[in-house]
Structure 1
Amino acid sequence: MRTTYLLLFILVMGLFSCTHKTVTESDVIYVGEDVKSSTVEALKKMYPTLDSRIERGVNHAASLWHEEDGAPADFKAFCEERFVGDEKERQILFDKVSRNLEILNGHFNMISLGLQEPLHLKYGEIKPIDETFGGFNPSAHLQEDLYSSKIAFEVALNFPFYSLAEKQKHSKDWTRQDWAYARMGDVFTSRIPAHLKQEVSRVGSNSDVYISQYNIYAGNLVDEAGNRPFPEDMVLLSHWNLRDELKANYPLGIVGLDKQKMIYEVMQRIISQSIPEDVINDSGYQWNPYTNEVFANGSPVKSDPEPDTRYQQIINNFRALRAMDVHTPLDTYIKRKFEGEMEISQPEVEALFVEFLESDVLKEVGGFIRERLGRPLEPFDIWYDGFKARSNINEEELTAQTQKLYPDAVALDKDLPNLLVKLGFSADKARSLSDKITVDPARGSGHAWGAAMKGQQSHLRTRVPESGMNYKGYNIAIHEFGHNVEQTISLYDVDYYMLNGVPNTAFTEALAFIFQKRDLQLLGRSDKGPGQEALKTLDVLWSTYEIMGVSLLDMRVWKWLYAHPDATATELKEAVIALAKDIWNNYYAPVYGMEDEPVLAIYSHMVSYPLYLSAYAYGNIIEFQLEQHLAERDFSGEVQRIFRQGRLTPDQWMMEAVGSPIDVQPMLDAAKEALEKI
């Protein structure tokens, strides 16, 4: 799941000032062309060989200078005093700013981590004060101080901003230092009032809490005959555990199919918000999702449906993020997420996904799955899990093994070095990486929270029931462990702090997927067999098919929100369901043979992680290309080499990693070959 990158957050959002006044035209052009020109000319006389850097630096700093920062003459004097023309002195300035940003990022990251522990970990009942502190952004006023102290302007003047197009143009020629300087130029790009940042943090935390407590007591689900098909103590978090339980039932034949159909009914009730509010995170009721009847102690009771809370959470996030638009050069959250954070334009992302979704090979794979199942496809078969080696193993057997290995989070923490050795890391490197990762028992499904400065731990949060870690939790934990390994390598092994991390979250998802696919190997079980490599290819393809549709929905929902900014929760619900059905009819109905299915709208990420889902889809593409590269190479050595590149642009990172840009065609071609082999 999502990883936390404080520096990346700052780079994307900018280090902003705290002011409640509205941005006006006079703010934007406060330093006029005449002052900028005279400042540039004065500096050129002082440093005649630095024309380009002077012009870029002055223009960049001027774009951030507002009236409260001083008169135009003060701006000119500041530039003449603080422009660093000597390259050795500029490198010293860079090193000092990098060090101090690491200190600030690291400590604010540690504060946020601590404040949110009662929300994320098993700390007992969540109280209102926990939610208030969890939604508090301790760094919100840092930006005001950095601008008022003129630190921001000194950095902007000497390390100016390069657009994405310029980065792509220079990517082949830049040295590592050039890249690091350019990333420092990304830090100060806009100024957003701190109260808006605080509101984004507050509503985001509220959404996290809402999702982390969206548990369905599966043991209390009943059919019309009164049967309870699931174990009495089974509790499934939406949507993650609902999906994973659905996957787990593929080996069980008709019994498994009946359970899958019941889970899908639950999902549809959540999407439509017809789910009775009383059955959410409450073990005191029995519920028939087919008829929507609720019972207490065997007797029918009245229970009102959830009042579109799911969609109100999305609206709350939208309104908080949209309030920032006027203060940024990338004037919608959609642009900030894609062009700013992912460094890929949203239209480019959508076009790539549509290219994939329209491929004829998906129909062939769908037909192959239909043959393997011996029945028509169902909507929930977007999660078909029969290509994996584990699909032939009863999940109860796997759970018995994981419960014995990991009765609690401490046991997993102690076993991390051993897991890395099994993946091919040397004992020393395995210990070095594991020493920087801590396992915590999560309240929700789990996530990875990265360190933001050297000396800090990355945190692997995973759900561990009282009975020990079940296989579903173990599988997710291995995914999160992949995030932690990336976070650690790309912080500790990168040559410049300003380059720490990866180009965007899709790249950390790629390594998380790569680790997750090796979960059986780590349990000492073979995933080799006749045609297994071909089946793995089809598995990646089918997973990508599922998540691309969900990602497409996520993007189109946000476009709809921008077109209907005053929509109510009910109006949004109707729009989401309509958009989900439209995407289904265009790209899934030709494969599944049925129309108007809303299943793509079930993902919890849409509620609490705005526009995050595309990172998974891109992660699948990147994962496949990385896996092809790793197939005949030293796994641990290449993982370390590739992920210590740091935060280049996406295509440049891929070129240096595997020798080719991001592309869906290798996966489509490999799937065709796999079908022929099978």
Structure 2
Amino acid sequence: MKKFLSFILSPFLIGLVACNSSDQNNKNRMQTTDFISEAKVEAIVKQLKDSLGESHVFRIERGVWQVADLWRETDGTVDDFSDFCKNSFISDTAELSRLFNTLERNLEVIYGYYHKIDVMLKAPLQLEGPEITPVDMMFGGYDVSAHLTDDLYANQIAFITALNFPFYTLKEKTELGENWTRKEWAYARMGDRSTARVPAAILQDISRTITEADAYISDYNIYMGELRNEAGEQLFPSTMKLISHWGLRDELKSNYADKERGLEKQQMVYKVMQRIIDQSIPLQVINSDNYSWNPITNELFDKNGGTVASKPEDTRRYGVFLKNFHAMRQLDTYSPDYPTQLVRAFDGTMEVPQKDVEELFRGLLSSPQVKEVASFIESRLGRKLEPFDIWYNGFKSGEGIPEDELTAITSRKYPDAQALEEDLPNILVKLGWKPAKAKEITSLVTVDASRGAGHAWGAEMRNDVARLRTRIGAEGLDYKGYNIAVHEFGHNVEQTITMNDVDYYMLNGVPNTAFTEAVAFLFQKRDLELLGLKNPNPEDEYWLALDNFWSCYEIMGVSLVDIQVWEWLYANPNATPEQLKEAVINAAKEVWNTYYAGILGGKDETLLGIYSHMIDYPLYLPNYPMGHLIAFQIEQQVRGKNLADEMYRMYTQGSIIPQHWMKNAVGSPISIEPLLAATHEALQALKK
């Protein structure tokens, strides 16, 4: 489950527009405006260099060009620009440090309180409660910080920041960062803060569009008790309501433990997913229990068993996706060095180039271990694999515990959100935290019942709370909700540590969202252990390797589909929802045929197009497999050590770039090789 971000507040927008991988000269970074001439910039640079000396050359050149890049006629005359640069550039080390401290302190105040407002405005959309009204949507889509960028340029705070704290490209951070002090890293992250001017109207539009997409997905539920097979039988409990895709996927996974009708249930869920992807699903069954539905034949029935004419969802899913594309594309003009959402997502936000990410993914998907693990799964299932076995989750010794038994335990233990919140300190103690530290961390985590599948939302200032959201039914927390809650709690623990225990506010957080996913996976894999249901087993590390490998195999293909679709969108910016639907389905088929059909069957299978993230969270999906790889390397690092101590050591590095973070944390960069080697070793050991 994703770490929730508001998308257009500081963590997101800064990541989008702050970074630059270009090797061009500073002057070539000038945006579309040429209000400040190149000759004028060079003259000011020369005057400052002559008066301050060669030791300040880099900061002078970079800073003056950055301000010139951002200055508009409305900010003042050319002479005003010249006076500003000459009067505002700080060469004294102590004075520069004071400026940094002032900026850091005040930005924390601004971002922290804007975040708290955003949390409250979006609460009716995200938490269990009354039906969402149009006015709720208006407030939830309102970005209270949209004018902040305009204001910070108008009062020249953004210009002072850009002039005195150089922006470093990803290449420069990679080459120089290993030798930087913590303060130099903090200065560099301050330099990331003022590098683009996006109009408030665009920020508001992005906020509104993403909020609408999130609301669409949060209410995309299937009432499983209303599904019927061809014999007219009901296979699922009447009370079961599952969100797409997470709930459907997790229900499919849970039925590997059902030896009687589990396969039939899985095939029915699989068919529901296919109908969501191709949009043949009847609109009447989405978030409604008014009708019964046979997903195999696509027939709809009223409460008396009579056949009802159905209306397909058609292209609504892809219309939402398309609106996200057009919203994010508005940023292209304001990010000349990162001119597409693809480049922003990888070189900017993730700070790992797209080509490097794809190389990792295709390397694992093409590895010989795929066929070996698939053969191992077949031997355990006693049948040929089917496409939905992409979600096989039986990598455990012995027989799995049926989900209804697990739900009986979790619903009794956690009847409501308060019970879960009260138990959070105990969970951390079981994971290795000392009681005092466990209480300190969990005092800054609050639990809410979620409308959607669940998410974690961290604070934006120290001593504010992180929010854990998961679905909690009238009968308590079922196992699916518990499993998600443990995952989200991992995010919350990371969020709390990296906000409150990192030495500089400018370095709070993690290098990218894959690193918080890594913690969430570490927690989630221990969910049964936390319930006292899993005893230490010497084979556990082998099962863990296989589980991680198969999870990567699944989500790497999904991520490649997401990437291909965004590439298609940029090549076809005037596409209709119908054309986008066709493009998603074609991309899903192409990736499936390349990496999955020979393993799981189903030529031209569309299953890789089911993921809801593709619809409501643009280009987030690649963070999951990166998170799996990072989590596995971290898991190897913490094995035999105290998880709490190791996590604290690693995560208090904060938001330096990913590969430096990994080298400091585990001694090597992000790689598929440790997982491939461990998978091979696991297969050899478990086949004996």
**Pairwise TM-score range, normalised by the shorter structure:** over 0.9
Report % sequence identity.
52
Matched AA of 1:424: G
Where does 1:608-627 land on structure 2 (aligned, <5 Å)? 608-627=616-635
Contact 2:390 2:600 in 1 (8 A): no
Alignment deviations for residues 416-444 of structure 1 (CA, whole Å, 9 cap, x no partner): 00100000100000000000000011111
Give structure 2 stretches of 5+ with no counterpart.
Answer: 20-28
Q: Is residue 2:12 matched to residue 1:9?
A: yes
Where does 1:181-580 land on structure 2 (aligned, <5 Å)? 181-297=187-303, 298-329=305-336, 330-388=338-396, 392-529=400-537, 531-580=539-588
Q: CA deviation at 1:530?
A: 5.8
Contact 1:502 1:648 in 2 (8 A): yes
Distance (Å, rounded) in 1 between the aligned partners of 2:394 and 2:505: 43
Contact 2:64 2:163 in 1 (8 A): yes
Which of these residues, 81, 84, 103, is aligned with residue 90 of structure 2? 84
Distance (Å, rounded) in 1 between the aligned partners of 2:623 and 2:331: 22
Contact 2:229 2:296 in 1 (8 A): yes
Distance (Å, rounded) in 1 between the aligned partners of 2:56 and 2:313: 63
Distance (Å, rounded) in 1 between the aligned partners of 2:399 and 2:153: 56
Contact 1:3 1:483 in 2 (8 A): no
Distance (Å, rounded) in 2 between the aligned partners of 1:45 and 1:581: 62
- The equivalent of 2:33 in structure 1 is 28
Provide closer, same or farther for how the CA distance between residues 187 and 599 of structure 1 changes in structure 2, counting only shifts above 3 A: same
Where does 1:63-82 land on structure 2 (aligned, <5 Å)? 63-82=69-88
SS in 2 for 1:249: helix
Distance (Å, rounded) in 2 between the aligned partners of 1:427 and 1:677: 38
Contact 1:338 1:346 in 2 (8 A): yes
Q: CA deviation at 1:533?
A: 2.0
- The equivalent of 2:26 in structure 1 is none
Alignment deviations for residues 623-676 of structure 1 (CA, whole Å, 9 cap, x no partner): 000000000212110101111100010100000111100001110111001100
Distance (Å, rounded) in 2 between the aligned partners of 1:561 and 1:13: 18
Contact 1:13 1:190 in 2 (8 A): no
Alignment length, in residue pairs?
Answer: 671
The answer to which of 606-615 and 519-528 deviates more is: 519-528
Matched AA of 1:585: N
SS in 2 for 1:236: strand
Where does 1:76-155 land on structure 2 (aligned, <5 Å)? 76-155=82-161
Contact 2:17 2:348 in 1 (8 A): no
Q: Is residue 2:579 matched to residue 1:586?
A: no
TM-score scaled by length of structure 1 = 0.97
Distance (Å, rounded) in 2 between the aligned partners of 1:647 and 1:75: 33
Matched AA of 1:3: F
Contact 2:455 2:470 in 1 (8 A): yes
Provide closer, same or farther for how the CA distance between residues 306 and 218 of structure 1 changes in structure 2, counting only shifts above 3 A: same
Alignment deviations for residues 217-268 of structure 1 (CA, whole Å, 9 cap, x no partner): 0001001111001111111111101000000000112410000000000000
Matched AA of 1:94: F
Q: CA deviation at 1:59?
A: 1.3
Matched AA of 2:353: S
SS in 2 for 1:223: coil
Q: Is residue 2:48 matched to residue 1:43?
A: yes
Contact 1:652 1:661 in 2 (8 A): yes
Alignment deviations for residues 342-361 of structure 1 (CA, whole Å, 9 cap, x no partner): 01111221122111111011
Q: CA deviation at 1:274?
A: 0.1
Alignment deviations for residues 107-135 of structure 1 (CA, whole Å, 9 cap, x no partner): 11011100000000012101111111111
Alignment deviations for residues 187-242 of structure 1 (CA, whole Å, 9 cap, x no partner): 11111111111111111000111000001000010011110011111111111010
Provide closer, same or farther for how the CA distance between residues 620 and 411 of structure 1 changes in structure 2, counting only shifts above 3 A: same
Distance (Å, rounded) in 2 between the aligned partners of 1:479 and 1:163: 33
Matched AA of 1:241: G
Contact 2:30 2:69 in 1 (8 A): no
Distance (Å, rounded) in 2 between the aligned partners of 1:530 and 1:78: 66
Matched AA of 1:420: L
Alignment deviations for residues 452-502 of structure 1 (CA, whole Å, 9 cap, x no partner): 001211000111000000000000000000000000000100000000000
Distance (Å, rounded) in 2 between the aligned partners of 1:649 and 1:13: 15
Q: CA deviation at 1:528?
A: 3.2
Alignment deviations for residues 72-124 of structure 1 (CA, whole Å, 9 cap, x no partner): 22111101111111000000000000001101100110111000000000121
Which of these residues, 657, 663, 666, is aligned with residue 655 of structure 1? 663
TM-score scaled by length of structure 2 = 0.96
Alignment deviations for residues 487-546 of structure 1 (CA, whole Å, 9 cap, x no partner): 000010000000000000000000000000010111011153363321111011000100
Contact 1:44 1:50 in 2 (8 A): yes
Distance (Å, rounded) in 1 between the aligned partners of 2:31 and 2:110: 32
Matched AA of 1:310: R
Provide closer, same or farther for how the CA distance between residues 567 and 10 of structure 1 changes in structure 2, counting only shifts above 3 A: closer
Alignment deviations for residues 541-599 of structure 1 (CA, whole Å, 9 cap, x no partner): 00010000001101001001111111111111111111101100000112123311111
Distance (Å, rounded) in 1 between the aligned partners of 2:144 and 2:231: 54
Contact 2:463 2:500 in 1 (8 A): no
Q: CA deviation at 1:391?
A: 5.8
The answer to which of 225-234 and 518-527 deviates more is: 518-527
Provide closer, same or farther for how the CA distance between residues 44 and 416 of structure 1 changes in structure 2, counting only shifts above 3 A: same
Provide closer, same or farther for how the CA distance between residues 25 and 99 of structure 1 changes in structure 2, counting only shifts above 3 A: closer
Contact 1:131 1:206 in 2 (8 A): yes
Distance (Å, rounded) in 1 between the aligned partners of 2:259 and 2:88: 72
Matched AA of 2:51: M
Distance (Å, rounded) in 1 between the aligned partners of 2:47 and 2:644: 53
Q: CA deviation at 1:388?
A: 3.5
Q: CA RMSD in A?
A: 1.5
Q: CA deviation at 1:27?
A: 4.9
Matched AA of 2:349: E
Contact 2:545 2:678 in 1 (8 A): yes
Provide closer, same or farther for how the CA distance between residues 381 and 487 of structure 1 changes in structure 2, counting only shifts above 3 A: same
Q: CA deviation at 1:282?
A: 0.5
Contact 1:475 1:519 in 2 (8 A): yes
- The equivalent of 1:665 in structure 2 is 673
Provide closer, same or farther for how the CA distance between residues 599 and 219 of structure 1 changes in structure 2, counting only shifts above 3 A: same
Matched AA of 2:433: F
Provide closer, same or farther for how the CA distance between residues 530 and 93 of structure 1 changes in structure 2, counting only shifts above 3 A: closer
SS in 2 for 1:448: strand
Matched AA of 1:9: F
Distance (Å, rounded) in 2 between the aligned partners of 1:137 and 1:422: 40
